[in-house]
Structure 1
Amino acid sequence: MSNKAGFLNLSIANILSDEQSMLTQARIRLLFYGLWVVFACVGAVFLSVLYSHEGALVAMSGGILVTVVMLFKYLTWKGDWKLVAHILLVMGTLLNLADAFIIFQKIDIISIQLVLLIIIFSFYMLGQNWGLLYSLANLSPVLMFMVYTYNNIYIINIRPVHLDQFTLILCVLANFVVMVFIHNHFYNAFLKNILELKRTSEEQTRLNETLEVAIDKAEKSSHAKSEFLSTMSHEIRTPLNAVIGMSNLLMMGNPRKDQEENLEILKFSANNLLAIVNDVLDFNKIESGKVVFENIRLDLPELLNNICGGQIIKANEKGLVFKLKIDDVLRNKTLIGDPTRITQIIFNLVSNAIKFTRQGFVEVKASCQEQREDQVTVRFSVRDSGIGIEQDNLKAIFEPFTQESITTTRKYGGTGLGLAIVKRLLELKGIQMQVTSKPGQGSEFWFDMVLPLINEVAQEPVVAKVKAVSAEEQEMSDLHILVAEDNMVNTMLMKKFFSKWHVRSTFAENGERAVEMMSYGNFDIVLMDLQMPVLNGFDAAMEIRKMADHQKAAVPIIALTASALTDIREKVFSAGMNDYVAKPFKPDELKEKILKLVHHRSARRHQPVE
C-alpha cells in the first residue's frame, strides 16, 4: 500500500503499489469499484422496499448500505482487501441464511443468485481453500432447507415476507449486475495477465537470445585471450630461453670476475622479465580456476633459504638488513606441500617488502604455531620497515593491476599483480592473508598454513651424494636423446647443454621428421617442442605412440613448451606424453625429469612377467 493512503483518502491509486502482483491489484480494483456497484444496486432496492413499507427489508437493506460505506472507507484507508472480502462474504452468508430460513422461508431465484454470487466472489477474491469453505457454508444449509421443506417438516412461527413483483425484478437485476461486473472485471484481468505473460515470455526469449550471443562472445573472447596469452608467452619465452640458457652456460664456463658481473646483470634482467610474464600468466591460470596444487615432500628450511638467497643480495644492494628466522621445531622435519606455490607466495611478499623499503630491514619468519602427530601449522610472516600502507587502501592492494596509488606505481614500478596472485592462491587453499601496517613505519603480511608431517627423516651422507652425482653423470652419458625443435637458437642452446652433460643427441627440425627418425633409430627419450611446422608436437607424439614396435611406442616423451594455455598439462598428457618442461627451462629440472623417466622405463623393462 502507498504511504499516501490515509483516513481521508478516496483514491484507488493510493492503495495500489508496484510491489503488488497483478492478481492482487485486480482484487483491490474489484473491491473498490464493486462496492460502488453494490451500493448503487442495494440503494435501488432500499428505495423500492421503503416505498413498499416492508420494515424488515428496509432495515436489512439499510444496514447493508451502511456496511458497504464503512467497508469502502476502511479499504481506502488501510488497503486491507482480504479483511474487507471476508466481511463481505460473511455478511452475504448470513444474508443468504436469513433469506432462506427466516425472511422468505423458501429457496427462490434470489437465494440461488446469492449463493452463486458468494461462490464466484469467494473463489476469485480468496482462492481455492477459502472459496470451498464459503461455498459449502452456503450450499449445505440451502440444500438442507430444500430437503426439510420437501418433507413438510420445516416449522417456524415467524411470518414470511412476500416481495412485490417490481422489487423482485429489481433484486434479480441487481444480483445479475453484480455477477456480470465480477466476471467482466476478472475476465479483463485474466486477459491482461495472459497478454502480460505473453509479452514477458517474448521479452524473456529476446533476453535469452541476447544472453546466448553475449555468452558466445564471452567464450570467444576468453578463447581469444587464452590464445593471445599463449602466443605472446611463446614469442617472449622463446628468446628468453636463449638469453637465460646462454647466461647459465657462460657462467658454467668459469668466466672472469668482470664477465661474471656482466652475466649476473644479464641473467637478473632476463629473470625479472620472465617474472613479469609469469605473473600475468599465473594470474590468468588462477582466474580460470586451472591451478593444480602438488603434494610432495619438502624441506621447509632449505626451501626458505633458496627463496631468500637471491633476495638477500637485492636487499644488501639497497643497504637493508635481511633477516631469515626459522623456528627450530621446523628443522629436520619433512613436510608435505607444494614448494612451487609456497615459493611463489613468499617470493612475491619478500620482493614487495624489498621494493617498498628504502632503509631499515626486511624480516622473513617461519614459526610453528601448532604441532600434531601428523601435521604442523606454520605461520609465515614477512615484515619490513618500508613506506607502509594507509588503512583505507589495505583492500585495494590485493586487487589485480593495482597499487596503493599512481605515485607508488610510477616511483616503484611493477605490474601490481604480486599481491593479487598471493591472495588468490591462499584463498584456493582456504587461507586468509592478514596485514598490519602503519604509514611510514612498515608492514607485516602473515598467514597460517597447515602442512602434513612425515615423522621419518632420512639422513643422506655427503659421500653418498657425491657418489650419486657421479653415477648421474655416467647415466646421462649413456643416453641417446631425440630432440624435436624448430628454433635454431634453442637447438644450439640444447646442444651446448648436452655437450656439458656428455649426452648423445639427435635433432629433428619438425614433428614429421621426429617421427621419421624414431621409426629407424633407437632413442632413450624424446624432447618434443609443441609448436612446430609440418607436424606439431601433439600430433607427432600420438604418431609415435601408434608405432608397431612396442619399445619405440613406449619411449618417454617430455614436452618442451613456452605456451601459456591453462590446460596445457591436460593436452600434453592426452597426447600420450609423459611430462613437460616450461621454457625457459632450468637445466637441473630438465636433467631430473629425464633421469626420472629413464629410471621408470628401465624398472618396467626388468619387471618379471607373471
Structure 2
Amino acid sequence: MSREVNFFNFSINKILSKNQSILDQAKIRLLYYGFWIVAVAVAGLFVSVYFQHQVLLSITAAILFFSVVVLFKYLTYRPHWRQISHALLVIATLINLNNVFIALQTVDIITIQIILLIILFSFYMLGQSWGLFYSLLNLIPVLAFMVLEYNSNYFIALRPEKVDQSTIIIGIFANFIIIIYIHSHFYSAFFNNIKQLKETGDEQQRLNGQLEVAIDKAEKSSQIKSEFLSTMSHEIRTPLNAIIGMSNLMMMANPRPDQQENLNVLKFSANNLLSIVNDVLDFNKIESGKVIFENLKFNLVDLLQNICGAEILKAQQKGLNFALKIDPLLQNKILFGDPTRVSQILFNLISNAIKFTPQGNIWVKAFLYEDKHNSIIISFIVKDTGIGIEKNNLESIFEPFTQESITTTRQYGGTGLGLAIVKRLLELQGLHMNVSSKIGEGSEFSFNMEFAVSTERVRYTADKSLLYPGNELLSSLKLLIAEDNPVNVLLMKKLLSKWNIIPTIAENGERAIEVLQYGNFDLILMDLQMPVMNGFDAAKEIRKLPDSKKAGIPIIALTAAALNDIKEQVLNAGMNDYVSKPFKPEELMEKIQSLVTAVPQ
C-alpha cells in the first residue's frame, strides 16, 4: 500500500500503489469488482432458493453472501490478495462439495462451472502449484462421487433438494459472467504486462546504448587525460631537469655562501614543483588502477634512514626536533616488499608532519608488532606536535585535493593529494590508516604492514667510493647520449665532466644507431621522445644489429614522460633500465655503475 487506510475505506484507489506490479494491481481489481458481481449473483440465488423453501441451499447462499461481504471489507482495509484468494477458494471448495455430496447429491452444469471457476481463479491468482492443489481438491471428490453414483453405491439419509429452472438459469448466467470477467480481466492485465515489459526492454536497450556511449566517452576521456598528463609531465619535467641539474652542478662547484643560499632556494622551489607534479601523476596512476606492487629485497633500516635524511634537514630549518626510532629487533633483517611505495607513504606522512608543525617535535617510529617467523608485521608511526585536526575532519583529510580548511590551504599550501595517495596505496594492499589528533597538541598517523623476511643477514660495506665523482672506472667509460634538447645536452655534458667523462652526442635515435655502428661505446643514455626516430624504436633497432657486442650494449632510458607503464615499455623495447627526469646525479651514477661493472678496465 502507498499509505495507511482506515477501516471504513471502500475506495479501490486507496489500496492500490505504484510499488505494486501490473499483475498485483490486476489481482486486487479482480477481487474488488468480482466481489460485487458475486454478491449480486449470490443475493439473487438466495432469494430464489429461499422462496422455494430449500433450507440447505438458503443457508449455503447466506453463508456465501456473508463471506463475500467480510472478505470485501478486509480487502478494502488490508489488500492482502493472496490470503483473501485462499479464503475464497476454501469457501468455494466447501460449497461445491456440499452441493455435490449433501444438498443436491448430483453433478450438474453448475457444479462443472464452479470447478472451472476454481481452476481459473486458483491458477490466475496463486500460480501453478496452488492451482493444481485446488483443482485436484475439487476434481477428485467429484469424480469419486460420479463413480459411486454410477454404481448406485452412494446413499445418505438426507433427501436431496431440488431447484427450479429459474434458479438454474440464474446460477448458470452468474457463473458464465464471472468466468468471462476473469478471462477478460487477466487477458487485459497480461497484455498490459507484456506491453510494459516490451517498453521496459526498449527503454533498457536505449539506456544500454547510452551507457555504451558514456563508457566509450569515459574511456576516451581517461585516455586523453592520461595522454595530457604524460605530455604535460614531459613538458614540465624537461625544464625542471635543467633547473635542478644545473643547481646540482653549481652546488658541486663550491659556491660562495650567498650563492649557496640562492641555489638552495632555487633547488628547494624546483623540488617543490616536482613534488606537486609527481603527486598529481601518482594519484592519476592509482585512480586508474595501474599501480603494481613489487616484491623486492631491501634493508628497512637503510630505507628509513634514507627517507628521513632529507626530512631531518627540513625539520631543522624550521627549528623542529626530529627523532627516528627503529626497533632493535629490525636492525639485522632483510625484507621483501615494495620499498618505493613504503617510501612514498612515509615521505608524505613525514612531509605533512613537518609542514603542519610550527614548533616542537617530529617522531618517526618503526617497531616489530608481530613475528611470524617467515614474515613480520611492522608498525609505522609518524607523530608530531603540530596544529592538530578537528575530529569531524579526520575522514575528509584523506579525500583528494582536500585539506582541513581553506585557511590551512592558504597558510601551508600544498595540493591536498599527499594523504589521498597514502590512503589509496594502503587500501590497495588491504591496510588501514589509524589517526588520532588533538587541536593544538598534534597528530599521530600509524599503520601496520606485513613483510616476508629473507634468511640473508645484513652486510655493511664501508667502501662506497664507486658511487662518488672522480672514480677511475667512470672516467674510462665511453658514453653515447641520444638527446635532442640542447639544454639537456649541455646539462649532461657538464654533469659527466664532473666524473671525467666526455660523451658523444646524437640528436635523434636514427643518428644514435649510425654513430654506434662506427664507434665503440660502453653504454647509451637514450632519450625517449626525439624527432626522426624515438628512443623506443632506436633501442629495438640496436638490438637487431649483426654485431653481438653492439647489439648487447647497455641502454638506460632518460625520460620526462609519466606513462603508467613506462617501465614495461622500456623493458619491452630492449632497454636495461630507466631514469626519470629530473634525476638525481647519484641515482644515474649508481645505475651506470651497475650496468658497466663487467667492462674491462
Q: What is the TM-score of this pair, normalised by structure 2?
A: 0.94
Instruction: Give the structure 2 partner of residue 457 of structure 1.
Output: 457
> In the alignment, which residue of structure 1 is the partner of 2:569?
571
1:19-38 to structure 2, matched below 5 A, reads 19-38=19-38
Map 1:36-47 to 2 at 5 A. Answer: 36-47=36-47
Task: For residues 180-236 of structure 1, give each alpha carbon's deviation from its aligned partner in whole angstroms, at most 9, with x where no partner exists.
Answer: 111111111111101111111111112111111211111111111111111111011
Compared CA separation, residues 523 and 163, structure 1 to 2 (3 A): farther
Q: Note if contact 1:323-1:363 (Cα within 8 Å) is conserved in structure 2.
A: yes
Aligned to 2:380: 380
8 Å CA contact retained: 1:389, 1:404: yes
Segment of structure 1 superposing worse, 564-573 or 388-397: 564-573
- The aligned runs of 1:81-480 (5 Å cut-off) are 81-462=81-462, 464-466=463-465, 473-480=471-478
Identity %: 61
Report the residue type matching 1:333 in the other structure.
K
SS in 2 for 1:446: strand
1:550-561 correspondence to structure 2 within 5 Å:
550-561=548-559
Q: Secondary structure at the match of 1:427?
A: helix
Residue 606 (structure 1) aligns with: none
**Is the 8 Å Cα contact of residues 335 and 451 (structure 1) preserved in structure 2?**
yes
Query: Structure 1 residue 58: deviation in Å?
Result: 2.0
Name structure 1 gaps, 5 residues minimum.
604-610
Equivalent of 2:483 in 458, 477, 485: 485
Secondary structure of 2:444 counterpart? strand
Root-mean-square deviation over aligned CA pairs = 2.4
Q: Is the 8 A contact 2:469 2:499 kept in 1?
A: no
Q: What does residue 579 of structure 2 align with?
A: 581
| Residues in 1 aligned to 2:461 and 2:111: alpha-carbon distance in whole angstroms | 109
> How far apart in 2 are the matches of 1:357 and 1:471?
37
Contact 2:557–2:570 under 8 Å retained in 1: yes
Equivalent residue for 1:608? none
CA distance in 2, matches of 1:48, 1:548: 114
Distance in 2 separating the partners of 1:107 and 1:551: 107
Say if 1:6 and 1:78, in contact at 8 Å, map to a contact too: no
What secondary structure is seen at the aligned counterpart in 2 of 1:14?
Answer: coil
- Pick from 525, 528, 531 the counterpart of residue 530 of structure 1: 528
**Is 1:75 equivalent to 2:75 in the alignment?**
yes
1:161-190 deviation digits (Å, cap 9, x = unpaired): 332222211111110000011111111111
**Residue aligning to 2:514:** 516
C-alpha deviation, 1:551, in angstroms: 4.2
User: Distance in 1 between the 2:551 and 2:237 partners?
Assistant: 30
Contact persistence 1:240–1:584 (CA under 8 A) = yes
Contact 2:2 2:19 in 1 (8 A): no
- 1:507 paired residue among 500, 505, 508: 505
Task: Please give the alpha-carbon distance, in whole angstroms, between the structure 1 residues aligned to 2:469 and 2:277.
Answer: 37
Residue 366 of structure 1 aligns to a residue whose secondary structure is strand
Displacement of 1:548 in angstroms is: 4.2
Q: Would the aligned equivalents of 2:467 and 2:589 in 1 still touch at CA under 8 Å? A: no
Q: Is the contact between residue 26 and residue 189 of structure 2 (CA under 8 Å) also seen in structure 1?
A: yes
Instruction: State whether residues 333 and 458 of structure 2, in contact with CA within 8 Å, keep that contact through their aligned partners in structure 1.
Output: no
1:468-493 Cα offsets, whole Å, 9 max, x none, are: 56999444344433322111111122
The AA in structure 2 aligned to 1:50 is Y
Assess, with a 3 A threshold, how the Cα gap between structure 1 residues 521 and 135 changes in structure 2: closer, same or farther: farther
Amino acid across the alignment from 1:411:
Q
- Distance in 2, matches of 1:566 and 1:365, equals 32
CA offset at residue 599 of structure 1?
5.0
CA distance in 2, matches of 1:374, 1:291: 26
* Partner amino acid, structure 1, of 2:95: L
Number of positions where the alignment pairs a residue of Structure 1 with one of Structure 2: 600
Q: Deviations 1:488-518 (Å, cap 9, x if unpaired)?
A: 1111222223333344533221222233334
- Decide whether aligned partners of structure 1 residues 12 and 550 sit closer, same or farther in structure 2, where only a CA change above 3 A counts: farther
Distance of aligned partners of 1:516 and 1:162 in 2 relative to their CA distance in 1, 3 Å threshold: farther
Give CA-to-partner distance per residue, 1:511-566, whole Å, 9 cap, x none.
22233334444443332222112222222233333444444444333222111221
Of 250-259 and 86-95, more deviation after overlay is shown by: 250-259
> Is the contact made by 2:556 and 2:579 (CA closer than 8 Å) also made in structure 1?
yes
Tell me the residue number matched to 2:492. Answer: 494
Deviates more, 1:112-121 or 1:293-302: 293-302
- Residue type matched to 2:300 in 1? L
| Residues 182 and 469 of structure 1, relative CA distance in 2, 3 Å threshold | closer
Structure 1 residue 88 displacement after superposition = 1.1
Contact 1:353 1:362 (C-alpha < 8 Å) held by counterparts: yes
Flag the 1:251–1:135 CA change in 2: closer, same or farther, 3 A: same
